């Protein structure tokens, strides 16, 4: 059953682009940190583990972490959990 009208909370809205290069670097650091956090959470939840019976072998195990990292990055780029925005605001505030 498809869900048609889902709205994100304001903290989880996609990040806005900024013009200042320093702000861009702060925002990228915040995005990278949220992606790393989500990647670890996904790994803890068991995402990327190969099935016992018909797994893809050592090749699947080697590339599973790359898949999890990209899935976490995609989550962040689509709004994530709002952690990147909070980190960015804290970094920006500390910089001033």
pLDDT in tens, 53-94: 666 677 777 788 888 999 999 999 998 999 999 999 998 898
**CA neighbor of 38 nearest in space, from 88, 12, 74:** 74
pLDDT computed for residue 10 by the predictor: 52
pLDDT computed for residue 81 by the predictor: 93
pTM: 0.69
Helices (H) and strands (E) in the chain, counts: 3, 0
Task: Return all residues near 86 (Cβ < 8 A) that are at least 6 apart.
Answer: 11
How much of the chain is helix, strand and coil, in % rounded to 5?
A: 60, 0, 40
pLDDT at 96 > cutoff 60: yes
Q: 14: helix, coil or strand?
A: coil
Q: What do you get for the CA distance between the two ends of the chain, in Å?
A: 48
pLDDT tens across 4-54, in order? 454 444 545 455 555 678 889 999 999 999 999 999 999 888 877 766 666
């Amino acid at each position: 059953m498809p869900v048609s009208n889902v709205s994100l909370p304001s903290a989880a809205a996609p990040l806005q682009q900024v013009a200042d290069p320093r702000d861009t670097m702060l925002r990228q650091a915040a995005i990278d940190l949220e992606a790393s956090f989500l990647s670890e959470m996904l790994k803890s939840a068991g995402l990327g583990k190969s099935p016992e019976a018909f797994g893809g072998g050592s090749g699947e195990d080697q590339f599973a972490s790359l898949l999890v990292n990209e899935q976490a990055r995609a989550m962040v780029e689509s709004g994530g959990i709002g952690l990147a925005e909070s980190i960015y605001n804290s970094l920006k505030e500390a910089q001033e």
